Structure 1
Amino acid sequence: MAAGFAGYLEILRARHATRLLAGTLVGRLPNATAAIAIVLFVRAEGGTYSLAGALAAVYGVANAVGQPVLGRLVDLHGQPRVQLPAALAAALAMTAFALTGIEPPVLAGTAVAVAGLFAPPLEGGLRALWPAVLRRDDQVHTAYAMDAVAQEIMFTVGPLLVTLCVSLWSAQAALVVLNVLGVLGALSVVCSPPSRAWRSAPREAHWLGALRSPGLLALLGAFLFVGVALGSITVAAVPYADEHGGDAVYGWLMAALGLGALVGGAVYGARQWSGAPERRLRVLVALLAVCYLPLTLMPGVVAMVLLAALSGVFLAPCIACAFIIVDRHAPAGTVTEAFSWLVTTITVGASVGTGLAGPVVQTGGALWGFALPGAAGAVSLLVLLATGRVLSAPVGRAVVAASSENDPNRAVEPRLSSGDRA
């Protein structure tokens, strides 16, 4: 454990490393907190749960579309030319949404869609920069783990920051402040020497790219429903919080989800796992679905926060295990693209979940809203069971995650990345 912390300190002492990590985390705050900030703003404006869920879903879908497109543009034109203009466009669109409000809904939806579409792909950019900044493979591997832990901290602190802004000022101010911070974070990254000097290597791929792998398609089908579970909790927690103390309770519930994922990911990543990752993933997804069920009990605030933390414990292990399977099934030369598709699929699923949860909560209240994540987790497990042969089939190339021919950095198994939930 001490050796691990020493490795983190060694990385942070590397030139530009702290600036890049901090700038990326701050720059991703608007994206990481968008669903929560949008829901709180819509409710403050007197909008319905259905409208709040729909707008959050619009943002998520637009973000899922924009990330691979902007990532391709970064590869073609470099980071500064794409990341900063994108951050400015996203911030201006979200500020327009905050100033004009939710009427008319078409205008509000357009502003939210533009904000999601132009959210800069800072996380992928940081992972591309680590090899140039750290040089040594062992440091790069440690940096990936540190980056993942930092993201979980962001997803824990982010909801509290949103509710703090709402408490001190307003939901409108929270949207503006978070997006100003996002632009400053992106500016810090793209003005750094590593970002300005970075250029992508030439890359050639089949027109379907990673999606020509049946195993990858099966995995994406399962994780679509993991995303649905995540998105539905965001909306289901709102009526519970309204009845038990308001926005502060909502922030604590969302922070507890991130904290649970942080703890679960840290424990999962602390040991080496044997056996086929496909089989292990089925067990982890089953546990994830089971841990969502106690949320339907809706006890007092303290107990509910603990249950929210429990519901997040198996999320990070599921995603970390999925990254190994992605590496095993991605066609040669498409691992980065395959990882992007997994992130996009979870994002789309979360958007669908927020859109579904709005009408469900409107009709049946928080109880039925909290039943939705467990149901989505069960469907994810069924998909994994139904596609077991496809996922377990030989890939046709002997590749392990620690030394993939598709990964020039020879990255070890990602420990946790629910920051990649976005």
Structure 2
Amino acid sequence: MGATGYLELLRAPHAARLLTGTLVGRLPNATAPIAVVLFARADGGSYSLAGALAAVYGLANAVGQPLLGRAVDLRGQPRVQLPAAVVSALGMVLLVGAGTGTPAVAFAAVAVAGLCTPPLEGGLRALWPGVLGRTDRVHRAYALDAVAQEVMFTVGPLLVTALVALASPAAALLVINAVGVLGALSVVVSGPSRAWRSADREAHWLGALRSPGLLALLGAFLFIGAALGSITVAGVAYADGAGGDAVYGWLMAALGLGALLGGAVYGARDWTGSPERRLLAVVALLAVCYLPLALTPGTAAMVLLSVLSGVFLAPSLACAFVVVDRQAPQGTVTEAFSWLVTTFGVGSALGTAVAGPVAQHTGTSAAFAVAGAAGLAALLVLAATRRALAVPAGRDGGRAPAENDRSDAPEHGFSSGHQA
């Protein structure tokens, strides 16, 4: 089916608009680390301050996503997504206006911006069943979602650097966040977003986290996030000894290219059987492909290994989205997807924190070995929790009948599920 299947998907009413609006709305989040660091440095802040501001933004974002996701499940998308996007953008406006001269204000500003980042990812995945109807189309949409995310995380930083070159870091922050609000607005004024309602939920303080299967999945993706975080640091260490920033750019671009290719091929295929079992196999392949990075060969070979290391990333995410959808307790679908985003982000931060000292004191190969170890840990978590993952929690999704179909029928088009 290939590209034809994706084109058919995008021709469905509202599909292209929702995907595009979500990606545009997420630009502030995708570019915040680099945009905040560039602004802080241009404003006279130290590297330590710049890094700390970016870290606070990431931590606040990790806290805010599941909280806002639960609010979306309870109150609907327009009442939460758009106000959150506006407040998040105002946090960045405060940062630009106040500067870094008063660190307490700067930290408060990025904390507000991160905490109020709207959970557009989870919101989009909750909308797909009602918009697309057929299960095979929903699964293909999850795959396309994962692939589009790789493009966004590649293009976003390039857009920031272009705006910095044309204007200034402050202008880049303001423009990106203004565009993000417009993206969120485009989503929430659409018919599907306004009409969507979460299924009735059982009152429970744990919300989506009361699902053992979801907890197992989150545990695994904490380590996959750690693997990616460690690669970003290990890549810097490798580039320092092999040619500098240009080499680092090639390595990261190769990683993204591998994920894009893998996701595109995975989403173009028809799949049968349990997505939970398939996730175990895909994560096993992902873990195996991380291991050769520790060899740290010459630049050309390292670029090829980076492509290989990314091939099973988007398929893992896509399959995880289906599993999240199946494991989320009724009425918690947006929150469940938001927890995956949070867990992945926290894992990435942990991987970065571990790989830095390892690279400094042990060497580049050892830093890349952290990624391999984290990938194997993710595989072990999934293998140890197969029983918990074997029983779907019962489908959520809102009013659409397709969302109430959690059968184990053959999955078509891609049979995967989310994006982190």
- Shorter chain as denominator, the TM-score bin is 0.7 to 0.9
Relative to 1, partners in 2 of residues 1:9 and 1:53: Cα closer, same or farther, differing over 3 Å? same
- Corresponding residue to 2:263 among 261, 265, 268: 265
Distance 1:244 1:165 in 2: 29
- Corresponding residue to 2:315 among 317, 328, 353: 317
Contact 1:360–1:369, Cα closer than 8 Å, also in 2: yes
Name the counterpart of 1:34: 32
- Corresponding residue to 2:177 among 166, 176, 179: 179
Contact 1:11–1:143, Cα closer than 8 Å, also in 2: yes
Distance 2:28 2:258 in 1: 21
Contact 2:142–2:321, Cα closer than 8 Å, also in 1: no
Name the counterpart of 1:377: 375
Contact 1:152–1:262, Cα closer than 8 Å, also in 2: yes
Distance 1:398 1:27 in 2: 30
Distance 2:222 2:268 in 1: 27
Distance 1:101 1:272 in 2: 52
**Are 1:354 and 2:352 matched, yes or no?**
yes
SS in 2 for 1:407: helix
Contact 2:222–2:344, Cα closer than 8 Å, also in 1: yes
Relative to 1, partners in 2 of residues 1:217 and 1:82: Cα closer, same or farther, differing over 3 Å? closer
Matches within 5 A, 1:27-66: 27-38=25-36, 47-48=46-47, 54-66=52-64
Distance 1:274 1:258 in 2: 27
Give the Å deviation of 1:28.
0.9
Contact 2:220–2:378, Cα closer than 8 Å, also in 1: yes
Name the counterpart of 1:407: 403
Name the counterpart of 2:70: 72
Give the Å deviation of 1:259.
2.0
Distance 1:396 1:193 in 2: 30
Relative to 1, partners in 2 of residues 1:178 and 1:232: Cα closer, same or farther, differing over 3 Å? farther
Give the Å deviation of 1:222.
2.1
Q: How many residues align?
A: 410
Give the Å deviation of 1:15.
4.5
Per-residue CA distance 1:237-291 (angstroms, 9 max, x = gap): 3454566666555444333322211212233334455666555544433432332
Distance 2:127 2:352 in 1: 33
**Are 1:198 and 2:213 matched, yes or no?**
no
- Corresponding residue to 1:90 among 88, 91, 95: 88
SS in 2 for 1:33: helix
Is there any run of 5+ residues in structure 1 with no aligned partner, and where?
A: none
- Corresponding residue to 2:186 among 177, 185, 188: 188
Name the counterpart of 2:122: 124
Give the Å deviation of 1:189.
2.5
Contact 1:89–1:115, Cα closer than 8 Å, also in 2: yes
Distance 2:284 2:131 in 1: 39
Name the counterpart of 2:148: 150
Contact 1:277–1:325, Cα closer than 8 Å, also in 2: yes
Distance 2:182 2:130 in 1: 23
Give the Å deviation of 1:10.
4.0
Relative to 1, partners in 2 of residues 1:192 and 1:115: Cα closer, same or farther, differing over 3 Å? same
Contact 1:64–1:347, Cα closer than 8 Å, also in 2: yes
**Are 1:230 and 2:228 matched, yes or no?**
yes
SS in 2 for 1:203: coil
SS in 1 for 2:349: helix
Relative to 1, partners in 2 of residues 1:212 and 1:188: Cα closer, same or farther, differing over 3 Å? closer
Is there any run of 5+ residues in structure 2 with no aligned partner, and where?
A: none
Distance 1:378 1:152 in 2: 23
**Are 1:209 and 2:207 matched, yes or no?**
yes
Contact 2:211–2:393, Cα closer than 8 Å, also in 1: no
Per-residue CA distance 1:122-176 (angstroms, 9 max, x = gap): 2233334445555666655544443333223223333433444455555555433
Relative to 1, partners in 2 of residues 1:56 and 1:15: Cα closer, same or farther, differing over 3 Å? same
Letter of the aligned partner of 2:27 in structure 1?
L
Per-residue CA distance 1:352-393 (angstroms, 9 max, x = gap): 2234444545655655543332222232233334x246446x
Per-residue CA distance 1:384-421 (angstroms, 9 max, x = gap): 34x246446x638899xxxx999336695865667x32
Relative to 1, partners in 2 of residues 1:285 and 1:8: Cα closer, same or farther, differing over 3 Å? closer
Name the counterpart of 2:216: 218
Give the Å deviation of 1:336.
5.1
Q: After alignment, is 222-231 or 172-181 more displaced?
A: 172-181
Q: What is the TM-score with the length of structure 1 in the denominator? A: 0.78
Distance 2:40 2:243 in 1: 18
Q: After alignment, is 147-156 or 159-168 more displaced?
A: 159-168
Contact 2:142–2:416, Cα closer than 8 Å, also in 1: no
**Are 1:306 and 2:310 matched, yes or no?**
no
Q: Report sequence identity in percent.
A: 67
